[in-house]
Structure 1
Amino acid sequence: MRTAKISGFADEISPDLAEQIIDFKKLGLNYIDIRNIDGNSITSRSLDEVKEIKKQLDENNLKVACIGSPIGKIFITEPNENHIELFKQTLTIAKILETKYIRLFSYYIPNQEYDKYRDEVLKRLSQMVELAERTDIILLHENEKDIYGDAPVRCVDLLENLKSPNFKAIFDFANFVQCGYNPLEAYPLIKPYLEYFHIKDALFSTKEVVAPGLGDGHLPEIISQAVRDGYEGFFALEPHLGNFVGRSTLELETQGQESEEETDGFLNFQHALNQFIIILDSIT
Protein backbone atom coordinates (compact mmCIF):
# COMPACT_ATOMS: atom_id res chain seq x y z
CA MET A 1 0.00 0.00 0.00
CA ARG A 2 2.97 2.37 -0.31
CA THR A 3 1.39 3.43 -3.61
CA ALA A 4 -1.49 5.05 -1.72
CA LYS A 5 -2.23 8.68 -2.59
CA ILE A 6 -1.56 10.59 0.63
CA SER A 7 -2.43 14.25 1.06
CA GLY A 8 -2.97 16.40 4.10
CA PHE A 9 -4.01 19.72 5.60
CA ALA A 10 -0.68 21.53 5.66
CA ASP A 11 -2.04 24.45 7.68
CA GLU A 12 -1.87 22.16 10.71
CA ILE A 13 1.91 22.43 10.39
CA SER A 14 2.14 26.17 9.79
CA PRO A 15 -0.05 29.04 8.58
CA ASP A 16 2.76 30.11 6.23
CA LEU A 17 2.62 28.67 2.70
CA ALA A 18 6.40 28.56 2.29
CA GLU A 19 6.72 26.55 5.50
CA GLN A 20 3.88 24.27 4.46
CA ILE A 21 5.68 23.53 1.20
CA ILE A 22 9.07 22.95 2.85
CA ASP A 23 7.64 20.61 5.47
CA PHE A 24 5.52 18.61 3.02
CA LYS A 25 8.64 18.06 0.93
CA LYS A 26 10.47 16.88 4.06
CA LEU A 27 7.64 14.43 4.68
CA GLY A 28 7.79 13.17 1.11
CA LEU A 29 4.23 14.23 0.28
CA ASN A 30 3.28 15.28 -3.24
CA TYR A 31 -0.31 16.36 -2.61
CA ILE A 32 -1.87 19.00 -0.38
CA ASP A 33 -5.39 19.70 0.87
CA ILE A 34 -5.31 23.47 0.80
CA ARG A 35 -7.44 25.19 3.43
CA ASN A 36 -5.92 28.21 5.21
CA ILE A 37 -2.91 30.35 4.38
CA ASP A 38 -1.77 33.00 6.86
CA GLY A 39 -4.90 32.26 8.87
CA ASN A 40 -7.28 33.00 6.01
CA SER A 41 -9.27 30.58 3.89
CA ILE A 42 -8.00 29.96 0.37
CA THR A 43 -11.55 30.77 -0.73
CA SER A 44 -11.16 34.37 0.45
CA ARG A 45 -8.08 35.01 -1.70
CA SER A 46 -8.18 37.05 -4.88
CA LEU A 47 -7.77 35.13 -8.11
CA ASP A 48 -4.38 36.78 -8.68
CA GLU A 49 -3.26 35.60 -5.24
CA VAL A 50 -4.49 32.09 -6.02
CA LYS A 51 -2.51 32.10 -9.27
CA GLU A 52 0.62 33.05 -7.34
CA ILE A 53 -0.05 30.26 -4.84
CA LYS A 54 -0.43 27.81 -7.73
CA LYS A 55 2.89 28.99 -9.14
CA GLN A 56 4.65 28.34 -5.83
CA LEU A 57 3.11 24.87 -5.58
CA ASP A 58 4.09 24.04 -9.18
CA GLU A 59 7.67 25.14 -8.56
CA ASN A 60 7.82 22.62 -5.73
CA ASN A 61 5.98 19.79 -7.51
CA LEU A 62 3.04 19.91 -5.10
CA LYS A 63 -0.43 19.22 -6.46
CA VAL A 64 -3.69 20.23 -4.83
CA ALA A 65 -5.74 17.16 -3.99
CA CYS A 66 -8.72 19.08 -2.61
CA ILE A 67 -9.82 22.54 -1.51
CA GLY A 68 -10.79 22.45 2.16
CA SER A 69 -13.50 25.06 1.82
CA PRO A 70 -15.79 26.38 4.59
CA ILE A 71 -18.83 26.12 2.31
CA GLY A 72 -21.87 24.92 4.24
CA LYS A 73 -20.26 25.58 7.61
CA ILE A 74 -22.77 28.21 8.64
CA PHE A 75 -26.14 27.87 10.37
CA ILE A 76 -28.97 26.87 8.09
CA THR A 77 -30.91 29.87 9.46
CA GLU A 78 -28.34 32.33 8.07
CA PRO A 79 -28.84 33.99 4.67
CA ASN A 80 -27.32 32.00 1.84
CA GLU A 81 -26.85 34.53 -0.97
CA ASN A 82 -23.30 35.56 -0.05
CA HIS A 83 -22.46 31.93 0.60
CA ILE A 84 -23.46 31.00 -2.95
CA GLU A 85 -21.24 33.76 -4.30
CA LEU A 86 -18.38 32.38 -2.21
CA PHE A 87 -19.12 28.94 -3.63
CA LYS A 88 -18.95 30.28 -7.20
CA GLN A 89 -15.61 31.88 -6.35
CA THR A 90 -14.44 28.53 -4.97
CA LEU A 91 -15.33 26.77 -8.22
CA THR A 92 -13.11 29.24 -10.06
CA ILE A 93 -10.32 28.75 -7.54
CA ALA A 94 -10.54 24.99 -8.01
CA LYS A 95 -10.00 25.46 -11.73
CA ILE A 96 -6.95 27.64 -11.14
CA LEU A 97 -5.49 25.13 -8.69
CA GLU A 98 -6.29 22.26 -11.07
CA THR A 99 -8.16 20.17 -8.54
CA LYS A 100 -11.46 18.44 -9.13
CA TYR A 101 -12.43 18.29 -5.44
CA ILE A 102 -14.03 20.82 -3.10
CA ARG A 103 -14.80 19.84 0.49
CA LEU A 104 -18.03 21.23 1.92
CA PHE A 105 -20.55 20.76 4.72
CA SER A 106 -24.32 20.49 5.15
CA TYR A 107 -25.00 23.42 7.49
CA TYR A 108 -25.21 23.65 11.25
CA ILE A 109 -28.67 22.78 12.56
CA PRO A 110 -30.13 24.71 15.53
CA ASN A 111 -31.21 22.60 18.49
CA GLN A 112 -30.72 19.35 16.53
CA GLU A 113 -34.00 19.98 14.66
CA TYR A 114 -32.88 17.93 11.67
CA ASP A 115 -36.34 17.15 10.29
CA LYS A 116 -37.39 20.79 10.45
CA TYR A 117 -34.48 22.00 8.31
CA ARG A 118 -33.95 18.98 6.05
CA ASP A 119 -35.71 20.45 3.01
CA GLU A 120 -33.79 23.72 3.27
CA VAL A 121 -30.49 21.83 3.50
CA LEU A 122 -31.36 19.84 0.38
CA LYS A 123 -32.48 22.99 -1.44
CA ARG A 124 -29.22 24.82 -0.73
CA LEU A 125 -26.98 21.87 -1.53
CA SER A 126 -28.95 21.16 -4.70
CA GLN A 127 -28.23 24.68 -5.92
CA MET A 128 -24.51 24.10 -5.43
CA VAL A 129 -24.60 20.66 -7.02
CA GLU A 130 -26.29 22.14 -10.11
CA LEU A 131 -23.47 24.67 -10.42
CA ALA A 132 -20.84 21.97 -9.96
CA GLU A 133 -22.49 19.82 -12.64
CA ARG A 134 -21.66 22.51 -15.20
CA THR A 135 -18.00 21.75 -14.48
CA ASP A 136 -15.99 18.63 -13.72
CA ILE A 137 -15.77 19.57 -10.04
CA ILE A 138 -16.85 17.00 -7.45
CA LEU A 139 -18.24 18.28 -4.16
CA LEU A 140 -17.14 16.19 -1.19
CA HIS A 141 -19.45 16.20 1.82
CA GLU A 142 -17.66 15.88 5.15
CA ASN A 143 -19.50 14.35 8.10
CA GLU A 144 -18.66 17.27 10.39
CA LYS A 145 -19.97 17.47 13.95
CA ASP A 146 -23.30 19.28 14.50
CA ILE A 147 -24.21 19.71 10.82
CA TYR A 148 -27.15 17.98 9.15
CA GLY A 149 -24.91 15.24 7.79
CA ASP A 150 -23.08 14.35 10.98
CA ALA A 151 -24.86 10.99 11.23
CA PRO A 152 -24.36 8.15 8.73
CA VAL A 153 -28.07 7.89 7.93
CA ARG A 154 -28.34 11.62 7.24
CA CYS A 155 -25.23 11.50 5.06
CA VAL A 156 -26.95 8.81 3.02
CA ASP A 157 -30.15 10.88 2.96
CA LEU A 158 -28.25 13.71 1.28
CA LEU A 159 -26.32 11.49 -1.11
CA GLU A 160 -29.37 9.51 -2.20
CA ASN A 161 -31.59 12.54 -2.70
CA LEU A 162 -29.07 14.69 -4.54
CA LYS A 163 -28.11 11.72 -6.75
CA SER A 164 -25.23 13.36 -8.57
CA PRO A 165 -21.82 12.20 -9.77
CA ASN A 166 -20.68 15.65 -8.63
CA PHE A 167 -21.68 15.07 -5.00
CA LYS A 168 -19.77 12.39 -3.11
CA ALA A 169 -18.76 11.49 0.44
CA ILE A 170 -15.74 12.07 2.60
CA PHE A 171 -15.38 9.46 5.34
CA ASP A 172 -14.02 11.12 8.49
CA PHE A 173 -13.39 8.49 11.17
CA ALA A 174 -12.87 10.86 14.10
CA ASN A 175 -15.97 12.90 13.40
CA PHE A 176 -18.17 9.80 13.44
CA VAL A 177 -16.59 8.70 16.73
CA GLN A 178 -17.04 12.14 18.29
CA CYS A 179 -20.71 12.08 17.29
CA GLY A 180 -21.17 8.66 18.88
CA TYR A 181 -21.32 6.55 15.72
CA ASN A 182 -19.30 3.40 15.12
CA PRO A 183 -17.31 3.86 11.90
CA LEU A 184 -17.49 0.11 11.26
CA GLU A 185 -21.26 0.44 11.03
CA ALA A 186 -21.05 3.68 9.04
CA TYR A 187 -18.75 2.34 6.33
CA PRO A 188 -21.24 0.02 4.55
CA LEU A 189 -23.73 2.90 4.37
CA ILE A 190 -21.23 5.40 2.97
CA LYS A 191 -19.39 2.93 0.71
CA PRO A 192 -21.55 3.42 -2.44
CA TYR A 193 -20.78 7.15 -2.38
CA LEU A 194 -17.25 7.10 -0.97
CA GLU A 195 -14.73 9.31 -2.75
CA TYR A 196 -12.26 10.48 -0.08
CA PHE A 197 -10.91 9.61 3.37
CA HIS A 198 -9.93 12.04 6.12
CA ILE A 199 -7.31 10.34 8.26
CA LYS A 200 -7.79 11.16 11.90
CA ASP A 201 -8.88 9.06 14.86
CA ALA A 202 -10.64 9.69 18.17
CA LEU A 203 -11.72 8.05 21.41
CA PHE A 204 -15.36 7.37 22.27
CA SER A 205 -14.69 7.89 25.99
CA THR A 206 -13.28 11.41 25.85
CA LYS A 207 -13.89 12.52 22.23
CA GLU A 208 -10.16 13.29 22.13
CA VAL A 209 -8.47 13.16 18.74
CA VAL A 210 -5.53 10.74 18.67
CA ALA A 211 -3.07 9.55 16.05
CA PRO A 212 -4.41 7.23 13.32
CA GLY A 213 -4.98 3.70 14.57
CA LEU A 214 -4.79 4.61 18.27
CA GLY A 215 -8.47 5.41 18.75
CA ASP A 216 -11.89 3.87 18.19
CA GLY A 217 -12.15 4.71 14.50
CA HIS A 218 -11.23 1.21 13.29
CA LEU A 219 -8.96 2.69 10.62
CA PRO A 220 -7.03 -0.51 9.82
CA GLU A 221 -10.16 -2.60 9.33
CA ILE A 222 -12.07 -0.03 7.30
CA ILE A 223 -9.18 1.03 5.08
CA SER A 224 -8.30 -2.61 4.44
CA GLN A 225 -11.91 -3.31 3.47
CA ALA A 226 -12.05 -0.20 1.28
CA VAL A 227 -8.94 -1.31 -0.60
CA ARG A 228 -10.48 -4.75 -1.12
CA ASP A 229 -13.58 -2.95 -2.39
CA GLY A 230 -11.45 -1.20 -5.00
CA TYR A 231 -10.84 2.17 -3.35
CA GLU A 232 -8.09 4.11 -5.17
CA GLY A 233 -8.73 7.63 -3.91
CA PHE A 234 -6.93 10.00 -1.57
CA PHE A 235 -6.14 9.64 2.11
CA ALA A 236 -5.91 13.15 3.57
CA LEU A 237 -4.16 13.51 6.92
CA GLU A 238 -5.88 15.92 9.30
CA PRO A 239 -4.10 15.11 12.57
CA HIS A 240 -5.69 17.66 14.97
CA LEU A 241 -3.04 16.59 17.48
CA GLY A 242 -1.73 18.46 20.49
CA ASN A 243 0.30 16.66 23.12
CA PHE A 244 -0.40 13.19 21.87
CA VAL A 245 0.26 9.83 23.50
CA GLY A 246 3.74 8.72 22.51
CA ARG A 247 4.97 12.26 21.84
CA SER A 248 7.87 11.98 24.32
CA THR A 249 8.95 8.69 22.77
CA LEU A 250 8.87 10.21 19.30
CA GLU A 251 10.99 13.14 20.44
CA LEU A 252 13.57 10.75 21.85
CA GLU A 253 13.58 8.73 18.64
CA THR A 254 14.04 11.82 16.47
CA GLN A 255 16.47 13.64 18.77
CA GLY A 256 19.33 14.95 16.70
CA GLN A 257 17.43 14.41 13.44
CA GLU A 258 15.11 17.39 13.47
CA SER A 259 16.26 20.91 12.71
CA GLU A 260 15.52 23.89 14.93
CA GLU A 261 12.90 24.94 12.41
CA GLU A 262 10.79 21.83 12.98
CA THR A 263 7.76 22.92 14.96
CA ASP A 264 5.27 21.10 17.14
CA GLY A 265 2.96 21.16 14.14
CA PHE A 266 5.54 19.38 12.03
CA LEU A 267 6.22 16.74 14.70
CA ASN A 268 2.51 16.14 15.21
CA PHE A 269 1.98 15.74 11.49
CA GLN A 270 5.02 13.49 11.17
CA HIS A 271 3.69 11.30 13.99
CA ALA A 272 0.29 11.01 12.33
CA LEU A 273 1.89 10.17 8.99
CA ASN A 274 4.11 7.51 10.55
CA GLN A 275 1.14 5.92 12.29
CA PHE A 276 -0.82 5.93 9.06
CA ILE A 277 2.05 4.30 7.17
CA ILE A 278 2.03 1.53 9.78
CA ILE A 279 -1.63 0.97 8.90
CA LEU A 280 -0.91 0.95 5.18
CA ASP A 281 1.99 -1.46 5.62
CA SER A 282 -0.32 -3.88 7.42
CA ILE A 283 -2.59 -4.07 4.37
CA THR A 284 -1.69 -6.75 1.86
Structure 2
Amino acid sequence: MPADPRPTSAPPPGIRYAGIGDEAAPGLADQLAAVRELGWHAIELRSVDGCALADLDHRAFGALTDQLAAGGTDVVCVDSRIANWSRPVTGPLEDDVDELRILAHRCAVLGTRYVRVMSYPNDGLSEPEWARRVHRRMAVLAQRAEDAGLVLLHENCAGWAGTSAERMLELLDRVGSPALRLLFDIGNGVPYGYDSAALLDAVIDHVDHVHVKDAVPTPTGEAAYTLPGQGRSQVRACLTALLRRGWTGTWSIEPHTHLRPHDGTDTREDSGTAAFVAYGRALERLVAQDVLPHVVASRQGGGRG
Protein backbone atom coordinates (compact mmCIF):
# COMPACT_ATOMS: atom_id res chain seq x y z
CA MET A 1 0.00 0.00 0.00
CA PRO A 2 1.83 3.16 -1.14
CA ALA A 3 1.70 6.10 1.24
CA ASP A 4 0.28 9.37 -0.03
CA PRO A 5 2.04 12.20 1.85
CA ARG A 6 -0.64 14.76 1.11
CA PRO A 7 -3.27 15.45 3.79
CA THR A 8 -6.77 14.53 2.64
CA SER A 9 -9.03 16.40 5.02
CA ALA A 10 -9.52 17.54 8.56
CA PRO A 11 -11.60 15.33 10.86
CA PRO A 12 -15.24 16.20 11.55
CA PRO A 13 -15.90 18.77 14.29
CA GLY A 14 -15.37 17.25 17.72
CA ILE A 15 -13.36 14.32 16.34
CA ARG A 16 -9.62 13.80 16.63
CA TYR A 17 -7.61 11.36 14.53
CA ALA A 18 -4.89 9.27 16.17
CA GLY A 19 -3.28 5.88 15.79
CA ILE A 20 -1.78 3.07 17.85
CA GLY A 21 1.85 3.88 17.24
CA ASP A 22 3.39 0.42 17.33
CA GLU A 23 1.18 -0.63 14.44
CA ALA A 24 3.51 1.52 12.31
CA ALA A 25 6.92 0.66 13.75
CA PRO A 26 8.63 -0.72 16.87
CA GLY A 27 10.59 2.44 17.73
CA LEU A 28 8.94 5.59 19.00
CA ALA A 29 10.78 7.87 16.57
CA ASP A 30 9.25 6.03 13.61
CA GLN A 31 5.86 5.85 15.31
CA LEU A 32 5.86 9.62 15.75
CA ALA A 33 7.13 10.15 12.22
CA ALA A 34 4.18 8.19 10.84
CA VAL A 35 1.69 10.24 12.84
CA ARG A 36 3.37 13.48 11.78
CA GLU A 37 3.33 12.43 8.12
CA LEU A 38 -0.43 12.18 8.40
CA GLY A 39 -0.52 15.70 9.82
CA TRP A 40 -1.99 14.35 13.06
CA HIS A 41 -0.89 15.37 16.55
CA ALA A 42 -2.09 12.48 18.68
CA ILE A 43 -0.89 8.94 19.34
CA GLU A 44 -2.10 5.93 21.30
CA LEU A 45 0.72 4.07 23.07
CA ARG A 46 0.96 0.30 23.48
CA SER A 47 4.63 -0.68 23.18
CA VAL A 48 8.02 0.79 22.31
CA ASP A 49 10.69 -1.46 20.83
CA GLY A 50 8.56 -4.44 21.77
CA CYS A 51 8.30 -3.39 25.41
CA ALA A 52 4.94 -2.59 27.02
CA LEU A 53 4.67 0.94 28.37
CA ALA A 54 4.51 -0.26 31.98
CA ASP A 55 7.70 -2.32 31.51
CA LEU A 56 9.91 0.50 30.22
CA ASP A 57 12.65 1.41 32.66
CA HIS A 58 12.87 4.97 33.98
CA ARG A 59 15.48 6.02 31.45
CA ALA A 60 13.49 4.68 28.49
CA PHE A 61 10.29 6.30 29.76
CA GLY A 62 12.09 9.61 30.19
CA ALA A 63 13.36 9.43 26.62
CA LEU A 64 9.82 8.68 25.46
CA THR A 65 8.39 11.75 27.16
CA ASP A 66 11.17 13.91 25.71
CA GLN A 67 10.40 12.71 22.16
CA LEU A 68 6.69 13.30 22.61
CA ALA A 69 7.28 16.83 23.89
CA ALA A 70 9.73 17.65 21.10
CA GLY A 71 7.22 16.57 18.47
CA GLY A 72 4.23 18.26 20.10
CA THR A 73 2.34 14.97 20.08
CA ASP A 74 -0.42 14.24 22.60
CA VAL A 75 -1.10 10.81 24.07
CA VAL A 76 -4.83 10.05 23.90
CA CYS A 77 -4.83 6.58 25.45
CA VAL A 78 -2.52 3.90 26.83
CA ASP A 79 -3.19 0.28 25.87
CA SER A 80 -2.44 -1.94 28.85
CA ARG A 81 -2.34 -5.70 29.24
CA ILE A 82 -4.80 -5.54 32.13
CA ALA A 83 -7.35 -8.38 31.86
CA ASN A 84 -6.38 -8.95 28.22
CA TRP A 85 -6.11 -12.10 26.11
CA SER A 86 -2.82 -13.07 27.80
CA ARG A 87 -4.15 -12.88 31.38
CA PRO A 88 -6.89 -15.40 32.21
CA VAL A 89 -9.26 -14.82 35.10
CA THR A 90 -7.48 -17.47 37.16
CA GLY A 91 -4.18 -15.59 37.02
CA PRO A 92 -2.86 -13.34 39.79
CA LEU A 93 -4.81 -10.11 40.17
CA GLU A 94 -1.60 -8.55 41.49
CA ASP A 95 -0.18 -8.45 37.95
CA ASP A 96 -2.97 -6.11 36.88
CA VAL A 97 -2.90 -4.05 40.07
CA ASP A 98 0.85 -3.54 39.69
CA GLU A 99 0.55 -2.55 36.04
CA LEU A 100 -2.22 -0.08 36.85
CA ARG A 101 -0.13 1.42 39.65
CA ILE A 102 2.77 2.05 37.25
CA LEU A 103 0.51 3.39 34.54
CA ALA A 104 -1.18 5.78 36.97
CA HIS A 105 2.12 7.58 37.42
CA ARG A 106 3.00 7.42 33.74
CA CYS A 107 -0.40 8.60 32.52
CA ALA A 108 -0.09 11.64 34.79
CA VAL A 109 3.20 12.50 33.07
CA LEU A 110 1.79 11.78 29.61
CA GLY A 111 -1.33 13.85 30.19
CA THR A 112 -3.90 11.13 29.52
CA ARG A 113 -6.44 9.48 31.81
CA TYR A 114 -7.52 6.67 29.50
CA VAL A 115 -6.20 3.11 29.96
CA ARG A 116 -7.44 0.33 27.66
CA VAL A 117 -8.40 -2.91 29.43
CA MET A 118 -10.36 -6.10 28.68
CA SER A 119 -12.33 -8.46 30.94
CA TYR A 120 -10.35 -11.68 31.38
CA PRO A 121 -10.64 -14.80 29.21
CA ASN A 122 -11.99 -17.87 30.99
CA ASP A 123 -9.78 -20.70 32.19
CA GLY A 124 -12.06 -23.65 32.75
CA LEU A 125 -14.45 -22.03 35.21
CA SER A 126 -18.22 -22.28 35.07
CA GLU A 127 -19.97 -19.31 33.48
CA PRO A 128 -21.35 -18.01 36.81
CA GLU A 129 -17.97 -18.29 38.53
CA TRP A 130 -16.21 -16.62 35.58
CA ALA A 131 -18.69 -13.73 35.76
CA ARG A 132 -18.35 -13.43 39.54
CA ARG A 133 -14.57 -13.19 39.39
CA VAL A 134 -14.65 -10.68 36.54
CA HIS A 135 -17.10 -8.44 38.39
CA ARG A 136 -15.00 -8.57 41.55
CA ARG A 137 -11.69 -7.92 39.81
CA MET A 138 -12.98 -5.09 37.67
CA ALA A 139 -14.51 -3.41 40.72
CA VAL A 140 -11.11 -3.50 42.45
CA LEU A 141 -9.35 -2.11 39.39
CA ALA A 142 -11.96 0.58 38.78
CA GLN A 143 -11.67 1.78 42.36
CA ARG A 144 -7.89 2.01 42.00
CA ALA A 145 -8.32 3.88 38.71
CA GLU A 146 -10.86 6.27 40.23
CA ASP A 147 -8.50 7.03 43.11
CA ALA A 148 -5.76 7.81 40.58
CA GLY A 149 -7.94 9.98 38.33
CA LEU A 150 -7.91 7.42 35.51
CA VAL A 151 -10.66 5.91 33.37
CA LEU A 152 -10.45 2.26 32.37
CA LEU A 153 -11.77 1.70 28.85
CA HIS A 154 -13.11 -1.82 28.37
CA GLU A 155 -12.59 -2.99 24.79
CA ASN A 156 -15.01 -5.26 22.94
CA CYS A 157 -12.38 -7.95 22.55
CA ALA A 158 -11.13 -10.83 24.72
CA GLY A 159 -12.85 -11.54 28.00
CA TRP A 160 -16.16 -12.15 29.70
CA ALA A 161 -17.83 -8.98 28.40
CA GLY A 162 -15.91 -8.76 25.14
CA THR A 163 -18.51 -9.76 22.56
CA SER A 164 -21.85 -9.14 24.25
CA ALA A 165 -23.54 -5.78 24.66
CA GLU A 166 -25.63 -7.24 27.49
CA ARG A 167 -22.52 -8.30 29.38
CA MET A 168 -20.81 -4.95 28.79
CA LEU A 169 -23.78 -3.14 30.24
CA GLU A 170 -23.99 -5.61 33.13
CA LEU A 171 -20.30 -5.09 33.89
CA LEU A 172 -20.70 -1.32 33.94
CA ASP A 173 -23.75 -1.64 36.16
CA ARG A 174 -22.18 -4.11 38.61
CA VAL A 175 -18.97 -2.08 38.95
CA GLY A 176 -20.90 1.20 39.14
CA SER A 177 -17.88 3.48 38.77
CA PRO A 178 -17.27 6.53 36.55
CA ALA A 179 -13.77 5.11 36.15
CA LEU A 180 -15.04 2.28 33.92
CA ARG A 181 -16.23 3.13 30.42
CA LEU A 182 -16.08 1.48 26.99
CA LEU A 183 -13.67 1.47 24.08
CA PHE A 184 -15.40 0.39 20.87
CA ASP A 185 -13.25 -1.35 18.26
CA ILE A 186 -15.18 -1.41 15.00
CA GLY A 187 -13.16 -4.25 13.48
CA ASN A 188 -13.55 -6.83 16.24
CA GLY A 189 -16.97 -7.98 15.06
CA VAL A 190 -15.53 -10.00 12.17
CA PRO A 191 -13.02 -12.15 14.10
CA TYR A 192 -15.40 -12.60 17.04
CA GLY A 193 -18.51 -13.21 14.94
CA TYR A 194 -20.92 -10.42 15.88
CA ASP A 195 -22.56 -7.42 14.20
CA SER A 196 -20.44 -4.36 15.00
CA ALA A 197 -23.10 -1.78 14.17
CA ALA A 198 -25.72 -3.52 16.30
CA LEU A 199 -23.35 -3.78 19.25
CA LEU A 200 -22.42 -0.11 18.96
CA ASP A 201 -26.06 0.89 18.87
CA ALA A 202 -26.65 -0.90 22.17
CA VAL A 203 -23.70 0.62 24.05
CA ILE A 204 -23.01 3.92 22.28
CA ASP A 205 -23.87 6.09 25.30
CA HIS A 206 -21.04 4.45 27.26
CA VAL A 207 -18.31 4.70 24.59
CA ASP A 208 -15.46 7.13 25.25
CA HIS A 209 -12.93 6.02 22.62
CA VAL A 210 -12.99 4.32 19.22
CA HIS A 211 -10.58 2.06 17.34
CA VAL A 212 -10.93 2.03 13.57
CA LYS A 213 -10.23 -1.38 12.06
CA ASP A 214 -11.78 -3.37 9.22
CA ALA A 215 -11.68 -7.01 8.19
CA VAL A 216 -13.23 -9.76 6.10
CA PRO A 217 -13.75 -13.37 7.23
CA THR A 218 -11.70 -16.11 5.60
CA PRO A 219 -12.66 -19.73 4.84
CA THR A 220 -10.54 -20.88 7.80
CA GLY A 221 -12.49 -18.72 10.22
CA GLU A 222 -9.71 -16.19 10.65
CA ALA A 223 -9.94 -12.49 9.83
CA ALA A 224 -8.07 -10.81 6.99
CA TYR A 225 -7.59 -7.11 7.70
CA THR A 226 -8.32 -4.46 5.08
CA LEU A 227 -8.28 -0.72 4.61
CA PRO A 228 -11.19 0.99 6.41
CA GLY A 229 -14.37 0.72 4.38
CA GLN A 230 -13.15 -2.23 2.30
CA GLY A 231 -14.12 -4.99 4.74
CA ARG A 232 -17.29 -6.20 6.45
CA SER A 233 -16.92 -4.45 9.79
CA GLN A 234 -19.47 -1.74 8.91
CA VAL A 235 -16.95 1.05 9.42
CA ARG A 236 -19.01 3.62 7.54
CA ALA A 237 -22.19 2.72 9.41
CA CYS A 238 -20.45 2.89 12.79
CA LEU A 239 -18.72 6.21 12.16
CA THR A 240 -21.95 7.63 10.77
CA ALA A 241 -23.87 6.49 13.84
CA LEU A 242 -21.34 8.16 16.13
CA LEU A 243 -21.56 11.48 14.28
CA ARG A 244 -25.33 11.42 14.12
CA ARG A 245 -25.35 10.87 17.88
CA GLY A 246 -23.21 13.97 18.40
CA TRP A 247 -20.37 11.82 19.74
CA THR A 248 -17.03 13.58 20.28
CA GLY A 249 -13.62 12.07 20.96
CA THR A 250 -10.80 10.23 19.22
CA TRP A 251 -10.94 7.83 16.29
CA SER A 252 -7.70 5.87 16.55
CA ILE A 253 -6.51 3.61 13.74
CA GLU A 254 -5.39 0.06 14.52
CA PRO A 255 -4.73 -1.38 11.05
CA HIS A 256 -3.62 -4.90 12.08
CA THR A 257 -2.25 -5.24 8.55
CA HIS A 258 1.37 -5.62 9.69
CA LEU A 259 1.18 -6.19 13.45
CA ARG A 260 -1.20 -8.44 15.39
CA PRO A 261 0.17 -8.96 18.92
CA HIS A 262 -2.39 -11.63 19.83
CA ASP A 263 -1.17 -14.07 17.14
CA GLY A 264 2.46 -13.03 16.84
CA THR A 265 2.20 -11.51 13.36
CA ASP A 266 4.81 -8.80 12.75
CA THR A 267 5.76 -7.74 9.22
CA ARG A 268 6.36 -4.07 9.96
CA GLU A 269 9.79 -4.14 8.35
CA ASP A 270 7.97 -4.81 5.08
CA SER A 271 6.79 -1.15 4.99
CA GLY A 272 4.73 -0.96 8.17
CA THR A 273 5.13 2.81 8.43
CA ALA A 274 4.03 3.42 4.84
CA ALA A 275 1.06 1.09 5.33
CA PHE A 276 0.09 2.93 8.52
CA VAL A 277 0.11 6.27 6.69
CA ALA A 278 -1.87 4.80 3.81
CA TYR A 279 -4.41 3.50 6.31
CA GLY A 280 -4.79 6.94 7.85
CA ARG A 281 -5.29 8.49 4.43
CA ALA A 282 -7.92 5.87 3.63
CA LEU A 283 -9.80 6.78 6.82
CA GLU A 284 -9.69 10.47 5.94
CA ARG A 285 -11.04 9.75 2.45
CA LEU A 286 -13.78 7.47 3.76
CA VAL A 287 -14.94 10.10 6.23
CA ALA A 288 -14.75 13.01 3.77
CA GLN A 289 -16.25 11.25 0.75
CA ASP A 290 -18.72 8.83 2.29
CA VAL A 291 -19.40 9.25 6.01
CA LEU A 292 -19.92 13.02 6.18
CA PRO A 293 -22.14 13.19 3.05
CA HIS A 294 -24.24 10.35 4.50
CA VAL A 295 -24.60 12.21 7.79
CA VAL A 296 -25.61 15.40 6.01
CA ALA A 297 -28.11 13.55 3.81
CA SER A 298 -29.68 11.79 6.77
CA ARG A 299 -30.09 15.10 8.60
CA GLN A 300 -31.67 16.74 5.58
CA GLY A 301 -34.04 13.80 5.36
CA GLY A 302 -35.25 14.36 8.91
CA GLY A 303 -32.95 11.79 10.51
CA ARG A 304 -33.77 8.91 8.14
CA GLY A 305 -31.15 6.83 6.35
What is the TM-score with the length of structure 1 in the denominator? Answer: 0.87
Matched ranges for 1:55-94 at <5 A: 55-73=66-84, 74-94=87-107
Structure 1 residues 182-238: Cα deviation after superposition (integer angstroms, max 9, x where no partner): 012101211121111100011244522221111111111111111111111111100
Task: Say which is worse superposed, 224-233 or 48-57, in terms of deviation.
Answer: 48-57
CA distance in 2, matches of 1:82, 1:112: 20
Partners of 1:12 and 1:225 in 2: CA distance:
26
1:103 aligns to 2:116 (yes or no): yes
Bigger RCO (CA 8 Å, 6+ sep) = 2
**Greater Cα shift, 219-228 or 202-211:** 202-211
Structure 2 match to 1:52: 63
Q: Secondary structure at the residue paired with 1:105?
A: strand
Matched to 1:138, the amino acid is V
2:199 aligns to what? 186
The one-letter code matched in structure 2 to 1:188 is D
Letter in 2 for 1:237: I
Alignment of 1:117-196 (within 5 A): 117-145=130-158, 147-152=159-164, 153-196=166-209
Deviations 1:158-204 (A, max 9, x none): 12222222111111122122111001210121112111110001124
Residue 13 (structure 1) aligns with: 24
User: Is the 8 Å Cα contact of residues 50 and 96 (structure 1) preserved in structure 2?
Assistant: no
Over 3 Å counting, the alpha-carbon distance change for 1:192 and 1:155 in structure 2 is same
Q: Which moved more, 1:112-121 or 1:274-283?
A: 112-121
- Paired residues, what number? 265
Q: Is 1:225 paired with 2:225?
A: no
Give TM-score, length-normalised by structure 2: 0.82
**How far is the alpha carbon of 1:242 from its aligned partner?**
4.2
Secondary structure at the residue paired with 2:148? coil
Task: Could you list the structure 1 runs, at least 4 aligned residues long, displaced by more than 6 angstroms after superposition.
Answer: none
**Equivalence for 1:40:** 51
Instruction: Give the counterpart letter for 2:80 in structure 1.
Output: S
Give 1 or 2: higher strand fraction. 2
> Secondary structure at the residue paired with 1:96?
helix
Deviation at 1:110, TM superposition (A): 2.5
> Is the 2:209–2:251 Cα contact (8 Å) retained in structure 1?
yes
* SS of aligned partner of 1:164: coil
Are residues 174 and 115 of structure 1, via their aligned partners in 2, closer, same or farther at CA, if it must alter by over 3 Å? farther
Q: Percent identity?
A: 24
Query: Residue by residue, what CA displacement relative to the aligned partner does 1:75-114 show, whole Å, maximum 9, x if unpaired?
Result: 1111112321121111111111111111111111125854
2:278 matches 1:278: no
Work out whether residues 150 and 176 of structure 1, in 8 Å CA contact, stay in contact via their aligned partners in 2: no
Q: What RMSD, in angstroms, separates the aligned Cα atoms of the two structures?
A: 1.9
Gaps of 5+ in 1: 244-261
Give the counterpart letter for 1:11 in structure 2: D
Name whichever of 135-144 and 30-39 sits farther off.
135-144
Cα deviation, residue 241, structure 1: 0.7
Residue segments in structure 2 that go unaligned for 5+ positions in a row = 1-9, 260-268, 297-305
